[in-house]
């Protein structure tokens, strides 16, 4: 089975490289014969292939793929494309109501086809409904791991991204940047791996910035004869503005892959995640919790701040034996594996993981050892999962800022 997977991955890689190379070559031909300067204000006409578009410069005034075109450009710049509300009809198909007033699709209701009735099917292998409320004004079925041709100089980045999607779907890649997995092992924003043990029952600030704080609650055990705890992250609290979103792994005695061991709370109230997603618009931010698998896997988005891909997993019997955790038989030690993607962090961001995103940050951990340890328990420990207070914390609720200024 492993050899077959390796063969399929190799084949996919070769196909992607070939298609990307063809795209780059075609794009180069289109640019190579153009008249005029090739700088950021290129107004020359290209001759490549059947391309009748005008220059592709970053500030081009004609049609093309320029980043700041003043006329028609890359359809990804169509702001109205994703501006819609969704409801599920009696037929089980999702209906998108287009809200972009500047679009020809404004006020229309687009219905997903029967062959792909949902935008985000629970099973990754199923096709999803792609809604475009922009210039195309259409719904189409697309594979979740759809391979797009890369027709620009960034094809390598696209290639890596596509391979990552193929390998991990939308679940956390524990070897990627900005991850918190295992017991607990981090990979920082600087790409350096380290362990932060914390303490059993403790709460620690993972990220603390001016407008965002993420705390983690640690569970663990200390076998007889050990000087420290084995620990795992059982819950995360995402704090911003006046709101708090908590994602937690429930305590279960015996693990079952077909039973949800994940719970979510919004401002203290437990929310039930539907088969597709839960969302709320508040204070100018969109908060979305969407399922990325049928059970125990979600993606959390707080617009303008952070995305989290989260998976709940247990400690298996073999893992328990190999590491000599000595876990009790009535606790599977369900915990979270998480990958973070941040937006708009300040240069002074702090926290166990947050500080690794500071410009010029140099990791103090010892390199070349199996388990490089990061300290800081005293600096980042908080009184509770929901508290933004610690020695190194920066986050303050809006009301706290007002009080501090009085």
pLDDT tens-digit map of 382-399: 999 999 999 999 999 886
Q: Judge whether residue 337 has pLDDT over 60.
A: yes
Stretch among 74-88, 272-286, 335-349 having the lowest mean pLDDT:
74-88
User: Residue 137 has which token pair?
Assistant: 């004004």
Which pLDDT does position 400 carry in this prediction? Answer: 58
Q: How confident is the model at residue 204 (pLDDT cuts 50, 70, 90)?
A: very high
- Is residue 151 domain-resident? no
Distance CA 294, CA 158 (A): 27
SS3 string, the chain, reads CHHHHHHHHHHHHHHHHHHHHHHHHHHHHHHHCCCCCCCCCCCCECCCCCCCCECCCCCCCCCCCCCCCCCCCCHHHCCCCCCEEEEECCCCCEEEEECCCCCCCCCCEEECCCCCCCCCCCCCCCCEEEEECCCCCEEEEECCCCCCCCCCCCHHHHHHHHHHHHHHCCCCCCCCCCEEECCCEEECCCCCEEECCCCCCCEEEEEEECCEEEEEEEEEECCCCCCCCEEEEEEEEEEECCEEEEEEECCCCCCCCCCCCEEEEECCEEECCCCCEEEEEECCEEEEEEECCCCCEEEEEECCCEEEEEEEECCCHHHHHHHCCCCCCCCCCCEEEEEEEECCCCCCCECCCHHHHCCCCCCCCCCCCCCCECCCHHHHECCCCCCCCCCCCCCCCHHHHHHHHC
Q: How confident is the model at residue 161 (pLDDT cuts 50, 70, 90)?
A: very low
- Give the structural domain span for 291: 179-405
Which is higher by pLDDT, 196 or 78? 196
Stretch among 14-18, 132-136, 320-324 having the lowest mean pLDDT:
14-18
Tell me phi and psi for residue 50, to 5 degrees: -100, 20
Q: How confident is the model at residue 367 (pLDDT cuts 50, 70, 90)?
A: confident
Judgement on whether residues 202 and 106 belong to the same structural domain of the protein: no
Q: Judge whether residue 172 has pLDDT over 60.
A: yes
Q: What is the mean pLDDT of residues 208-215?
A: 98
Query: ∠360-365-368 over CA atoms, to 5°?
Result: 115
- Examine the fold and report which residue of 146, 171, 199 is the final residue of a domain before the chain moves on: 146
Judgement on whether residues 273 and 129 belong to the same structural domain of the protein: no
- Is residue 19 domain-resident? no
Which pLDDT does position 91 carry in this prediction? Answer: 80
Judgement on whether residues 205 and 295 belong to the same structural domain of the protein: yes
Which residues are registered as beta bridge partners of 263?
Answer: 248
- Count of CA atoms in the C-beta half-sphere (13 A) of 279: 15
Distance CA 62, CA 68 (A): 11
Q: How confident is the model at residue 368 (pLDDT cuts 50, 70, 90)?
A: confident
Which pLDDT does position 275 carry in this prediction? Answer: 82
Judgement on whether residues 128 and 239 belong to the same structural domain of the protein: no
Distance CA 207, CA 236 (A): 11
pLDDT digits (tens, 9 = 90+) for 226-272: 888 999 999 999 999 999 999 999 999 999 999 999 999 999 999 99
- Is residue 68 domain-resident? no
Cβ-contact 336, 311 below 8 angstroms: yes
Cβ-contact 54, 46 below 8 angstroms: yes
Judgement on whether residues 133 and 249 belong to the same structural domain of the protein: no
Q: Judge whether residue 155 has pLDDT over 60.
A: no
Judgement on whether residues 185 and 135 belong to the same structural domain of the protein: no
Which pLDDT does position 34 carry in this prediction? Answer: 41
Enumerate residues 6+ apart whose C-beta is below 8 A from 195.
183, 184, 185, 186, 371, 372, 373, 374
- Is residue 128 domain-resident? yes
Distance CA 95, CA 32 (A): 45
Judgement on whether residues 133 and 205 belong to the same structural domain of the protein: no
Which pLDDT does position 17 carry in this prediction? Answer: 55
Mean pLDDT over each residue of the chain, to the nearest integer: 79
**Max CA separation in the chain (angstroms):** 77
- Examine the fold and report which residue of 90, 121, 146 is the final residue of a domain before the chain moves on: 146
**Which candidate, 125, 36, 140, places its Cα nearest to that of 81?**
140
- Is residue 158 domain-resident? no
What is the separation of C-alpha 174 from the centre of its chain, rounded to a whole number of angstroms?
12
Judgement on whether residues 256 and 326 belong to the same structural domain of the protein: yes
Q: How confident is the model at residue 13 (pLDDT cuts 50, 70, 90)?
A: low
- Count of CA atoms in the C-beta half-sphere (13 A) of 238: 22
Judgement on whether residues 371 and 254 belong to the same structural domain of the protein: yes
Judgement on whether residues 87 and 211 belong to the same structural domain of the protein: no
Which pLDDT does position 320 carry in this prediction? Answer: 92
Judgement on whether residues 368 and 233 belong to the same structural domain of the protein: yes
Which pLDDT does position 346 carry in this prediction? Answer: 97
SS3 string, 57-91, reads CCCCCCCCCCCCCCCCCCHHHCCCCCCEEEEECCC
pLDDT digits (tens, 9 = 90+) for 27-62: 444 444 444 333 444 444 444 444 444 444 444 444
Judgement on whether residues 128 and 196 belong to the same structural domain of the protein: no
User: Residue 169 has which token pair?
Assistant: 């779907």
- Is residue 337 domain-resident? yes
Share of residues in the chain with pLDDT > 90 (%): 50
Which is higher by pLDDT, 158 or 110? 110
Q: What is the mean pLDDT of residues 274-289?
A: 91
- Examine the fold and report which residue of 102, 122, 146 is the final residue of a domain before the chain moves on: 146
- Is residue 366 domain-resident? yes
Dihedral of CA 289/293/296/297: which sign? negative
Terminal-residue alpha carbon distance, the chain: 66
Which pLDDT does position 342 carry in this prediction? Answer: 97
The total number of structural domains that make up the chain: 2
Share of residues in the chain with pLDDT > 70 (%): 70
Q: What is the mean pLDDT of residues 355-381?
A: 94
Distances, alpha carbon 79 to alpha carbons 116, 129, 135, 195, 286, in Å: 24, 19, 10, 41, 16
- Is residue 191 domain-resident? yes
Q: Judge whether residue 406 has pLDDT over 70.
A: no
Distance CA 78, CA 305 (A): 22
pLDDT digits (tens, 9 = 90+) for 58-99: 444 443 344 344 444 443 435 678 888 888 887 888 888 888
């Amino acid at each position: 089975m492993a050899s077959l997977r390796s063969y399929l991955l190799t084949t996919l890689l070769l196909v992607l490289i070939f298609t990307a190379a063809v795209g780059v070559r075609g794009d180069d031909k289109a640019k190579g014969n153009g008249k005029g300067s090739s700088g950021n204000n290129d107004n020359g006409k290209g001759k490549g292939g059947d391309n009748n578009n005008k220059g592709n410069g970053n500030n081009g005034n004609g049609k093309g793929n320029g980043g700041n075109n003043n006329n028609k450009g890359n359809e990804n710049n169509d702001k109205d494309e994703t501006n819609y509300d969704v409801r599920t009809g009696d037929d089980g198909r999702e209906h998108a109501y287009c809200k972009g007033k500047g679009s020809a699709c404004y006020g229309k209701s687009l219905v997903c086809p029967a062959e792909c009735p949902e935008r985000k099917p629970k099973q990754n292998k199923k096709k999803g409904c792609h809604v475009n409320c922009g210039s195309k004004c259409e719904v189409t079925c697309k594979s979740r791991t759809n391979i797009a041709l890369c027709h620009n100089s960034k094809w390598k980045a696209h290639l890596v991204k596509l391979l990552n999607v193929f390998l991990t779907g939308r679940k956390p890649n524990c070897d990627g940047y900005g991850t918190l997995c295992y017991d607990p092992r981090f990979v920082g924003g600087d790409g350096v791996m380290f362990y932060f043990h914390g303490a059993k029952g403790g709460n620690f600030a993972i990220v603390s910035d001016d407008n965002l704080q993420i705390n983690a609650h640690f569970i663990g055990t200390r076998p007889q004869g050990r000087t420290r705890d084995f620990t795992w992250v059982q819950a995360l609290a995402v704090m911003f503005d006046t709101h708090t979103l908590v994602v937690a792994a429930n305590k279960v005695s015996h693990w079952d892959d077909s039973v949800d061991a994940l719970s979510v709370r919004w401002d203290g109230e437990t929310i039930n995640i539907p088969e597709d997603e839960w969302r709320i618009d508040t204070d100018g931010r969109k908060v979305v919790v969407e399922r990325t698998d049928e059970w125990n896997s979600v993606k959390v988005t707080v617009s303008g701040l952070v995305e989290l891909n989260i998976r709940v997993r247990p400690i298996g019997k073999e893992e328990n034996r190999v590491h000599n955790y000595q876990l009790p038989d009535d606790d599977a030690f369900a915990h979270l594996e998480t990958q973070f993607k941040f937006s708009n962090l300040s240069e002074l961001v702090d926290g166990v993981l947050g500080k690794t995103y500071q410009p010029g940050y140099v990791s103090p951990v010892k390199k070349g050892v199996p388990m490089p340890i990061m300290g800081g328990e005293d600096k980042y420990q908080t009184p509770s999962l929901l508290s933004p207070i610690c020695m190194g914390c920066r986050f303050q609720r809006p009301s706290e800022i007002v009080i501090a200024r009085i």
